[in-house]
A and B are shown apart, each in its own frame.
Chain A
Amino acid sequence: MNIQKNWWKFLAIILLLYTVIMGFLGEVPAREILNETIRNLYFHVPMWFGMMTLLFISVVYGIRYLSSGKTDDDIIAREAAHAGVAMGILGLITGSLWARYTWGTWWTQDTKLNGAAITMLIYFAYFVLRGSVEDEQKKARLSAVYSIFAFVMMVVFILILPRMEDSLHPGNGGNPGFNKYDLDSKMRMVFYPAVLGWILLGVWILNVRVRITRIEEQILNDYSGMKDQIL
């Protein structure tokens, strides 16, 4: 890999290794119930940051497609949504496991939890929509418009609604969550690099997926060109 062009991939590697090692060996505040699971902060929470970053990329390229009409913008929008949903599913699973051993249940009717699950369903519908339209341009345009709606809904369900109601999940309603009492400066030293590292990993996966799709498109284009010559 070219260091000058792909420096952020090297940064991702360094940050992730730092996260994994310091995530287990670093000092954390001792808390009732949470105990050592407080270290999940370095692994569960960055999944959502990664998801939100990728879905943001998706909606930006969706809007770009609407003005440019370039297939490449649509490819990036689709692959970003794909990678974002993958990270979101990991966030849901890790959150559920964490909840089992701190709240005592895999799932609870909580605003934040249900909001996250609904967000996933909204993005599943995005792929269903894409799969159900044959015409390439119509598919790209429809899904770009839908992704604007989906992104806004994601913000509402994950960032706004949970703050308006009481929630078990930290950072919402009456629950102070991981604020200055829980997230001390030693944890911040690991948490912020962890968030950046996981976001970069998500973008890296997006980068590879987009390049594979471009190659696919290229081959399909060449093939259709050949078919025209033969016929």
Chain B
Amino acid sequence: MKKLLSLFFLIVLSKFSFSQSGAPEMADAMRSSGKIYVVACVAAIVMIGLIVYLVTIDRKVSKLEREIKSRKKTS
């Protein structure tokens, strides 16, 4: 019984020390696989930003085109 108890303690202790040596694991996808997801996110944000910028330029040009068209009609 004593042997069994000490074995149990050893197992618990080893478990405990194992969890202490490793970093505290949190359910956080952004930190897994060397934080590559962060890089993917940053690149995606840059891409989205550039695309939004291009879309606004595109719309601005469309507005100018409409303006010129309407001026052509009135004059």
Contacts and interface: CB of A to CB of B under 8 A. Distances in A.
Interface of A: 1, 9, 13, 16-17, 20-21, 23-25, 201, 204-205, 207-208, 211-212, 214-215, 218-219
Interface of B: 36-37, 39-40, 43-44, 46-48, 51, 54-55, 57-59, 61-62, 64-65, 68
A17 B49 CA distance: 11
Contacts of B48: 17
Interface residues of chain B: helix, strand, loop or mixed (majority): helix
Contact of B43 (A20, A212, A214, A215): A20
Contacts of B39: 24
A1 B55 contact: yes
Which of B37, B44, B59, B65 counts the most A-chain CB atoms under 10 A from its CB?
B44
Nearest to B52: A13
Contacts of A20: 40, 43-44, 46-47
A85 B43 CA distance: 24
B36 A25 contact: yes
B68 A208 contact: no
Contact of A218 (B51, B55, B59, B68): B68
A208 B58 contact: yes
Contacts of B46: 20
A20 B48 CA distance: 10
A6 B13 CA distance: 65
Contacts of B57: 208
B61 A211 contact: yes
A8 B51 CA distance: 13
A224 to B, nearest CB: 15
Contact of A24 (B40, B55, B58): B40
